[in-house]
Amino acid sequence: MPMDSVDIEVLRSAEAWRKAGHRVTFGTIVKTWGSAPRPVGALVVVRDDGQVVGSLSGGCVEDDLIEKVRAGAVAKDRPQVITYGVTNEEATRWGLPCGGTLVVVLEPVTEKSAFGELLETIAKQQLVRRRLELDSGRVSMAPGTWQDVLEFDGKVLTTVHGPRWRLILIGAGQLTHYLAEMAHMLDYHVLVVDPRQEYADGWDLKDVQLDRGMPDDVVAAANLDGHSAVVALTHDPKLDDLALMEALKSAAFYVGAIGSKKNNARAASA
C-alpha cells in the first residue's frame, strides 16, 4: 500500500484526533521573510496533549507552539495569526536564523473544518481549493486547478490541497510499480499508461490510475505544464518513442526514459 504524503498525514491526523475527542490546532505557514526554515504552505497539527504531525520550522518553534496549544492559549474558538521571529531576540530564542520570520494561521479543528470531506476528495486524486474566513472560522471548498496557489490577505486564507505535480509513467512493469509508489508518497498525481493486456492484468496499485490508451495519445491529450513529468519505462520503442516525442513538445519539466547505452544512442540520433 502506498504511503501518504506529509500533507495528507497532517490532515488525516487532524481529523482522526478530532473524532477521538481531542482539542486539535491546525497550522499553515502563510508568509516568510529571510531565512525561514520551512516554505509557505507547510502544515502542522498539534493535539491538546502535545503530539505533533508535520512541521513549521523543522523543530525551531514547535516547542513554543505545543506549549501554547496545551494551555489553550491560541486559536481556541476561531482562527488566529501568529508570527515567529519578528525581532532578533525572538529569532535567537526560537532558533530561527537571524531575521528569519514565519507568519502562521492557526485554526481550531472542528466538524465545520470539513477535513473529512477534504480527505475524501483528495483520495479521488482531485485538487481542492479550501477557503477559511478568519473572522468567522467559516470554511468553504471548491474544485482546484493546477495554477492555484496559496493566498492570504489577512482576512481570508485560500489553500490548495491534493496532488500539485503530475507524473505520467509509460509501461506498467515492476519498475513502474516502485516509481509510482514513491511519486504518490511525494504527492504527485500519477498516471500509468500501458495498452498491453498482460501488464494491465497485473496492475494492483489501487491509488494509481492505469490508462489502456496508446501512450503518445495520452501524453498529447494531457496538456502537460511545468508541473508535469513523463518517464518511459517499457523498453519498447513502439510505445516509448512516440510518447517521448509528444512529451518533448510540451512544457513538462522532466522527460526521461530507461534503456541501454545502445538504445539511448539510437534515440538521441533519431
pLDDT digits (tens, 9 = 90+) for 16-69: 999 999 999 999 999 988 767 778 999 999 999 999 999 888 667 888 899 999
**Range name among 41-50, 81-90, 168-177 with the lowest pLDDT average:** 81-90
Residue with cell 507568519: 103
Q: Which residue has the higher pLDDT, 52 or 126?
A: 52
Beta-ladder partners of 33: 101
**Three-class SS string for the chain?**
CCCCCHHHHHHHHHHHHHHCCCCEEEEEEEEEECCCCCCCCCEEEEECCCCEEECCCCCCCHHHHHHHHHCCCCCCCCCEEEEECCCHHHHHHCCCCCCCEEEEEEEECCHHHCHHHHHHHHHCCCCEEEEEECCCCCEEEEECCCCCCCEECCCEEEEEECCCEEEEEECCCHHHHHHHHHHHHCCEEEEEECCCHHHHCCCCCCCCEEECCCHHHHHHHCCCCCCEEEEECCCCHHHHHHHHHHHHHCCCCEEEECCCHHHHHHHHHC
Query: pTM, whole model, 2 decimals?
Result: 0.69
Domains and CATH numbers, the chain: 6-161 (no CATH), 165-269 (3.40.50.720)
What whole-number distance in Å separates Cα of residue 142 and Cα of residue 127? 9
Average confidence (pLDDT) over 126-133: 94
Do residues 239 and 258 lie in contact, with contact meaning Cβ atoms separated by under 8 Å? no
pLDDT-derived band at 268, boundaries 50, 70, 90 = low
Percent of the chain with pLDDT over 90: 63
pLDDT-derived band at 3, boundaries 50, 70, 90 = very low
Q: Is the confidence at residue 104, as pLDDT, over 90?
A: yes
pLDDT-derived band at 6, boundaries 50, 70, 90 = confident
pLDDT-derived band at 1, boundaries 50, 70, 90 = very low
Average confidence (pLDDT) over 220-237: 91
pLDDT digits (tens, 9 = 90+) for 234-250: 989 999 999 999 999 99
Looking at residue 20, its amino acid is A
Looking at residue 201, its amino acid is D
